[in-house]
């Protein structure tokens, strides 16, 4: 365990992000409301630098910083890379989006960087106080980002809903934290785990589990705590939606895994975790997983707005990933980590296409996508790649992600969950294919070609290429995921 | 034996698809020529394969006697291999795929809507089909199996008939439903078997066929039954076996001509191929248990398909239902597990591929000219288009099983082989022959005989390109009708090994 001074040099990535936030605030004050891309590019550069340094620090083994407030290990590093890429993609997407462009941009990027900093901390937090603080650091700027289009009613509506739900969930969660503190007399997650393992009142522990579970369940938008997400996702500027559905969701999984696996389970031999008597949260989450994916997919079928459809689809994907969470072994964790990587590319890609089309036709309704296959073949083919990857059809990366999830589930003998999972894949094909049907199979409303800039095309290619490549060769990523999962709590 | 012929056959079309993407807009003929060249190379390789294939080696469960093997690690962390090889069961299918793909490209020459997309997708489709018939790693097999769905969806959905959107998504959903069940079976097999040499879990199908690699869980009979049925549903949807057939009439009718040819000629065979290649040798005990249900399903297919065909007024639908009926013979022959029965089944797979391909081409010919396919909407065409009539008659007679043409031999083998095993069912099934003859002859009569329909006195005769597509198939049908040995010799050794294995393992 390192003290405050020793810790600083390992805290460099977070310091870089903080520095960038401060610079932007000053910049905003100095330049006023002038339009400039500086903020966007500074975001990209600082997050990129933070990611590289975090990668370097993370490979040096596990370290507890600031008297055990945060823990730098391969697990958090893996997540930090995902967060950073999500932020960078979101920044580029915002630069390309006509929704965000041309407004008070500097503030926007300050919020974006703040969320990123929060996610960095959340993935490595090992203390109740730190968990709570970083969760709020993720949430509060997210509310602001969601309501960024303050002249649009749905943006404001989404943001208000987000705040109300978020505040309630935080309150419930921190009540759970207080029970845990009361039970054990410490705020250190590892310490709590140790004391819980030696035996505490099962009833209090169950109540604490339920309260904390609600808070985290809200963060990853698991059913029944998902009600906020379609409205927020639909109302927010599309780059923000893409970001929220990947970054904070991944952060939710990071803290869910780190917290639950340390507090409510015990590490045993062979890359497994064991439950304590009294709290069978695995079954609870297995059912939640099945319900989440089923509800997400079924409701997605009837959506007419692409953004809203993708919002429900991202609920369903959280359900898929929860399958890996309930397995209590390295295999399940590795599957989640791998899935998050492929999900980052395919989901961001799908949203990027939505942004580029909305830039031109000003609509996100599926109907208005008719004939895109002819109007812009490149955009449409990329959309096809992303949507088929989201469905989980080979040779795209989403398929491999699902294979690992299902493999873990089958290996652990939860056959019912595997069957529900694959049937959900079939259901999801129906609505993903509906978008493609409109794009490729229906006659265009106008024959006019849709101009797509060269940078937009390059950006799309950057997202589409890994989506395809990771479906054909994914060995390095799965090995990295495996290593990160294996070292968790080790 | 170091050879890359299977990889070349599989991926050369994909290379062609890649080139097509770079052809500038408007150069439709260049696209078509590229497609023709890159589907013709596999045909040349197929001819080479036909001559180089050693007919005395069984393959099936035995690694040592598979031919043209290619085996490289693909994903070491998950022990997935790039493992390709052929034996007597797969070679006829590979030949059929190469030939029909090339002919279908020629048959698609009149496509004028989004030409680039059409041929690129078509070439991708051929890669998927070839891969399915060559893959011996179950994961690899699954990837190829699914890769086919994407181009198929678009080929039906964009270039199909009036109800193409409905037909395309129905086809896609049905087959995906079948294949996700297969995926679960694959994963269950993976975790419950080990490679005897390395002790790791494996996707190698041949290891699954060695039942001593199965663990205690996988040895329980009821578990095996569940896995077998899940796998069977996946394959049955493709065949399609009643009651999983409802996607077929829609897809076949709405698909453009060349795609119907591929659907009926190649894709349907994947179902029965999968059962023979995978279900039979991995679950020999369940296979024996399932023989009678399979035979019953086969007979239902024969009769139901024939009766439905008889009721159709649309010529293409008639041909589609006749496919269901003909695939019933394959199931019946497979279920019998006698040398004649199983040889007949696989031979029927090949013959049905060539004959139905002709039928769909021929339906396409008349549809291109008359723009409808109503059987009752013609009349007396025999006098107007004699060459076309000759081809249709040949295809119809082959399809109804006239002696002297290839369909007869395979159906006869199926009946001879299954009669000793399922007497009552075979007697019932023979009624199918009568129905089959009835609907073929009745349709022939309504279209080609009688007074000439005045609307079609000027119907143009079949053209040279169309004759080019049909002639190779017609020749094959006629030669195999009198001398079936080229195919039977190719498949016999493997099939005898297969039934010997299924009958004597885990008894």
State which residues form the domain around A356: 273-490
pLDDT at B444 over 70: yes
| Average pLDDT of the residues of chain A | 89
pTM score of the predicted model: 0.94
For residue A45, is it within any domain?
Answer: no
Using CB atoms, pick whichever of B146, B153, B187 lies closest to residue A410. B187
For A415, the closest chain B residue by CA position comes to B184
**Residue B357's pLDDT is what?**
93
pLDDT at A278 over 80: no
How many angstroms away from the CA of B261 is the closest CA of chain A? 21
For residue A396, is it within any domain?
Answer: yes
pLDDT digits (tens, 9 = 90+) for B93-139: 999 999 999 999 998 988 888 888 899 999 999 999 999 999 999 99
| Subunit contact A394:B168, Cβ cutoff 8 A | no
For A399, the closest chain B residue by CA position comes to B143
| Subunit contact A475:B184, Cβ cutoff 8 A | no
How far apart (Å, rounded) are the C-alpha atoms in residues B301 and A325? 45
* Spatial CA neighbour of A84 closest among A22, A8, A14: A14
**Residue B260's pLDDT is what?**
92
Residues of B in contact with A393 (CB under 8 A): 146, 149-150, 176
> The tokens of A420 are what?
């529900």
At B70 the three-state DSSP class reads: strand
Residues paired with B83 in a beta bridge: B71
Q: What is the 3-state secondary structure (H, E, C) of A266-312?
A: EEECCCEEEECCCCCHHHHHHHHHHHHHHHHHHHHHCCCEHHHHHHH
Cα–Cα distances (Å) from B19 to A378, B35, B38, B104, B116, in that order, read 16, 9, 10, 19, 10
Residues of A in contact with B157 (CB under 8 A): 437, 440-441
A411–chain B Cβ distance below 8 A for any pair:
yes
Residues of A in contact with B117 (CB under 8 A): 373, 377
Confidence tier at B2 by pLDDT (50, 70, 90): low
Find residues 95-154 of chain B whose CB sits inside 8 Å of chain A: 114, 117, 142-143, 146-147, 149-150, 153-154
Residues of A in contact with B146 (CB under 8 A): 393-394, 399
For residue A303, is it within any domain?
Answer: yes
pLDDT digits (tens, 9 = 90+) for A433-465: 999 999 988 888 777 888 888 888 999 999 999
Assess contact for A470 and A477: CB atoms under 8 A. Answer: yes
User: In this prediction, does ipTM exceed 0.90?
Assistant: yes
Residues of B in contact with A419 (CB under 8 A): 184
pLDDT digits (tens, 9 = 90+) for A279-333: 788 888 999 999 999 999 999 999 999 999 999 999 999 999 999 999 989 999 9
Domain count for chain A = 1
How far apart (Å, rounded) are the C-alpha atoms in residues A397 and A386? 9
pLDDT digits (tens, 9 = 90+) for B46-72: 999 999 998 888 888 888 888 999 999
**Residue B198's pLDDT is what?**
85
How far apart (Å, rounded) are the C-alpha atoms in residues B62 and A489? 46
For residue A418, is it within any domain?
Answer: yes
For residue A463, is it within any domain?
Answer: yes
Cα–Cα distances (Å) from A9 to A23, A59, B198, in that order, read 20, 15, 45
The alpha carbon of residue B444 and the mean position of all alpha carbons in its chain are separated, in whole angstroms, by 25
Q: What is the CA radius of gyration of chain B?
A: 22
Question: A331: exposed, middle or buried (C-beta count within 10 Å: 0-12, 13-18, 19+)?
Answer: buried
Using CB atoms, pick whichever of A422, A440, A475 lies closest to residue B183. A422
How many angstroms away from the CA of B168 is the closest CA of chain A? 9
Phi then psi for B403, rounded to 5 degrees? -55, 140
A418–chain B Cβ distance below 8 A for any pair:
yes
| Subunit contact A475:B77, Cβ cutoff 8 A | yes
For residue A179, is it within any domain?
Answer: no
For residue A232, is it within any domain?
Answer: no
For residue A424, is it within any domain?
Answer: yes
A461–chain B Cβ distance below 8 A for any pair:
no
């Amino acid at each position: 365990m390192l003290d405050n001074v020793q810790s600083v040099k390992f805290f460099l990535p977070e310091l870089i992000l903080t520095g960038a936030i401060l610079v932007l605030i000053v910049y905003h004050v100095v330049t006023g409301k002038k339009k400039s891309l500086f903020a966007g590019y500074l975001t990209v550069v600082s997050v990129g630098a933070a990611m590289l340094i975090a990668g370097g620090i993370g490979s040096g083994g596990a370290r507890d910083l600031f008297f055990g407030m945060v823990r730098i290990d391969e697990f958090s590093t893996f997540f930090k890379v995902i967060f950073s890429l999500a932020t960078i993609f979101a920044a580029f997407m915002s630069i390309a989006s006509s929704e965000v462009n041309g407004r008070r941009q500097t503030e926007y990027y300050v919020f974006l960087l703040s969320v990123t900093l929060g996610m960095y901390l959340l993935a490595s937090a090992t203390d109740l106080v730190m968990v709570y603080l970083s969760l709020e650091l993720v949430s509060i700027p997210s509310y602001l980002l969601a309501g960024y289009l303050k002249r649009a009613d749905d943006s404001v509506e989404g943001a208000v809903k987000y705040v109300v739900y978020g505040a309630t969930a935080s309150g419930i969660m921190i009540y759970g934290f207080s029970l845990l503190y009361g039970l054990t007399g410490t705020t250190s997650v590892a310490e709590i785990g140790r004391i819980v393992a030696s035996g505490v009142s099962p009833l209090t522990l169950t109540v604490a589990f339920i309260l904390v579970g609600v808070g985290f369940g809200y963060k990853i938008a698991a059913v029944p705590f998902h009600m906020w997400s379609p409205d927020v996702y639909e109302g927010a500027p599309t780059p923000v939606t893409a970001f929220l559905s990947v970054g904070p969701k991944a952060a939710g999984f990071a803290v869910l895994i780190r917290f639950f696996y340390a507090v409510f389970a015990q590490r045993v031999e062979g890359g497994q975790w064991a439950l304590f008597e009294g709290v069978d949260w695995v079954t609870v989450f297995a059912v939640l997983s099945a319900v989440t994916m089923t509800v997400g997919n079924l409701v997605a079928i009837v959506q007419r707005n692409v953004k809203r459809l993708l919002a429900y689809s991202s609920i369903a994907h959280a359900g898929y990933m929860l399958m890996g969470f309930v397995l209590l072994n390295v295999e399940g964790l590795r599957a989640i980590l791998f899935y998050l990587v492929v999900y980052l590319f395919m989901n961001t890609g799908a949203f990027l296409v939505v942004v580029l089309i909305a830039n031109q036709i000003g609509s996100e309704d599926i109907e208005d996508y008719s004939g895109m296959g002819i109007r812009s073949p490149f955009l449409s083919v990329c959309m096809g790649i992303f949507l088929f990857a989201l469905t989980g059809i080979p040779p795209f990366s989403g398929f491999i992600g699902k294979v690992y999830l299902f493999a873990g589930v089958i290996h652990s003998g939860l056959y019912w969950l595997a069957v529900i999972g694959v049937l959900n894949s079939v259901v999801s094909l129906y609505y993903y294919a509906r978008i493609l049907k409109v794009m490729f199979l229906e006659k265009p409303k106008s024959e006019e070609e849709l101009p797509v800039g060269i940078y937009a095309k390059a950006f799309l290619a950057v997202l589409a290429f890994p989506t395809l490549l990771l479906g054909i060769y994914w060995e390095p990523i799965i090995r990295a995921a495996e290593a990160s999962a294996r070292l968790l709590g080790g | 034996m170091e050879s890359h012929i299977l990889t070349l056959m599989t991926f050369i079309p994909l290379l062609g698809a890649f080139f097509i993407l770079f052809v500038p807009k408007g150069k439709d003929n260049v696209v078509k020529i590229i497609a023709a060249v890159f589907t013709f190379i596999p045909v040349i390789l197929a001819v080479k394969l036909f001559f180089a294939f050693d007919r005395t080696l069984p393959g099936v469960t035995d690694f040592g006697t598979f031919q043209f093997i290619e085996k490289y690690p693909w994903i070491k962390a998950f022990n997935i291999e790039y493992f390709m090889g052929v034996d007597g069961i797969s070679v006829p299918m590979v030949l059929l795929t190469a030939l029909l793909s090339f002919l279908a490209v020629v048959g698609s020459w009149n496509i004028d809507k989004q030409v680039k997309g059409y041929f690129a997708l078509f070439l991708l489709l051929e890669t998927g089909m070839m891969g399915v018939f060559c893959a011996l790693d179950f994961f690899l097999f699954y990837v190829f199996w699914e890769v086919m769905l994407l181009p198929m969806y678009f080929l039906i959905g964009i270039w199909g008939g009036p109800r193409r959107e409905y037909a395309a998504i129905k086809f896609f959903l049905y087959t995906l439903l079948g294949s996700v069940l297969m995926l679960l079976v694959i994963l269950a097999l993976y975790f419950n078997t080990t490679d005897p040499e390395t002790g790791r879990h494996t996707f190698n199908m041949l290891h699954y066929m060695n039942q001593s690699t199965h663990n205690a869980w996988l040895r329980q009979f009821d578990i095996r039954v569940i896995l077998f049925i899940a796998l069977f549903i996946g394959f049955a949807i493709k065949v399609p076996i009643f009651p999983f057939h409802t996607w077929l009439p829609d897809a076949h009718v709405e698909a453009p001509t060349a795609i119907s040819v591929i659907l009926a000629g190649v894709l349907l065979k994947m179902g029965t191929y999968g059962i023979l290649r995978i279900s039979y040798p991995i679950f020999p005990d369940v296979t024996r248990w399932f023989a009678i249900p399979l035979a019953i399903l086969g007979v239902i297919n024969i009769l139901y398909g024939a009766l439905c065909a008889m009721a159709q007024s649309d010529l293409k639908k008639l041909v589609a239902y006749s496919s269901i009926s003909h695939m019933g013979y394959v199931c019946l022959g497979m279920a019998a597990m006698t040398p004649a029965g199983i040889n007949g089944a696989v031979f029927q797979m090949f013959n049905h591929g060539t004959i139905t391909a002709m039928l769909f081409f021929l339906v396409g010919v008349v549809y291109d000219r008359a723009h409808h396919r109503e059987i009752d909407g013609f009349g007396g065409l025999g006098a107007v288009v004699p060459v076309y009539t000759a081809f249709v008659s040949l295809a119809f007679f082959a399809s109804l099983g006239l002696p002297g043409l290839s369909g007869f031999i395979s159906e006869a083998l199926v009946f001879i082989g299954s009669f000793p095993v399922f007497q009552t069912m075979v007697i019932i099934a023979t009624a199918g022959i009568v129905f089959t003859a009835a609907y073929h002859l009745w349709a022939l009569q309504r279209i080609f005989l009688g007074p000439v329909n005045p609307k079609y006195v000027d119907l143009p005769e079949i053209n040279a390109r169309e004759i080019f597509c049909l002639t190779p198939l017609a020749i094959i049908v006629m030669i195999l009708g009198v001398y079936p040995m080229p195919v039977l010799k190719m498949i016999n050794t493997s099939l005898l090994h297969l039934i010997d294995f299924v009958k004597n393992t885990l008894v």
